[in-house]
Amino acid sequence: MTVKTKHESLVAGPLVGIIMGSTSDWETMEHAAKTLSELNVPHETRVVSAHRTPDLLFEYAAGAEKRGIEVIIAGAGGAAHLPGMTAAKTVLPVLGVPVESKALKGLDSLLSIAQMPGGIPVGTLAIGKAGAINAALLAAAMLGAKHPQIREALREFRKLQTHKVMATPDPSNAFVPRKTKSQRKKRKRA
């Protein structure tokens, strides 16, 4: 498959593999996918569980490089072994996103992902949505060294983000409350 990016260069196949331990992680991991889409970074998304589908995990991690994947983003919650085990089976950079767990609010996920033994690194991001977004941005920053169109897309993203903040310097003016039904009726009658 050949993908035409916003900057008109041709990239064959997905460059980022977003994997997650369960479909229940999608609520968090979709933010990584959305961010990559905004930057026109070709990516794929898959559920790959370290505990429930260990053979699939090995197959995915071991085969990713050959398929042209350059960065893997792995999200998992609780006893979050997916990012670490993926990193153990590939030399591609692996970015781990701790998904917020019900029992421990994601602290378990964070520690499981961050506390890797020396020799097998996982770049660990923040718990939840912010971590998923930043994993995508970090993946884009890594890819930018080789793919100039991704570097430029990231530059534009950052510029736009700055503009958005500068456009609303006073937060008290940012929120205009919607009129209630009775207020709207009164206005119609007047």
- Interface map 25-44 toward ligand RP5 (x if CB under 6 A): x-------------------
| Residue choice 11, 41, 57, 76 for contact with ligand RP5 (CB under 6 A) | 76
Spatial neighbors of 6 by CB under 8 A, at least 6 apart, are 40, 149, 153
Size of the site for ligand RP5 (CB under 6 A): 10
| Residue choice 4, 9, 13, 24 for contact with ligand RP5 (CB under 6 A) | 24
Residues 155-174 that bind ligand RP5 (CB under 6 A): none
Through-space distance between the first and last CA atoms of the chain, rounded to whole angstroms: 61
Q: Which amino acid is at 46?
A: R
Q: In what order do the strands lie in the sheet with 71-77?
A: 43-47, 16-20, 71-77, 94-99, 123-124
If the CB atoms of residues 29 and 64 are measured against ligand RP5, the closer one turns out to be 29
Residues 96-135 that bind ligand RP5 (CB under 6 A): 99
What are φ and ψ of residue 94, in 5° steps?
-115, 125
Q: Which residue, among 144, 153, 171, 124, has the nearest Cα to 70 in the 3D structure?
A: 144
21 forms part of the interface with ligand RP5 (CB under 6 A): yes
| Residue choice 17, 78, 84, 128 for contact with ligand RP5 (CB under 6 A) | 78
* HSE, side-chain direction, 13 A CA sphere, residue 161: 10
If the CB atoms of residues 8 and 55 are measured against ligand RP5, the closer one turns out to be 55
Binding site residues, ligand RP5, CB under 6 A:
21-22, 24-25, 49, 51, 76-78, 99
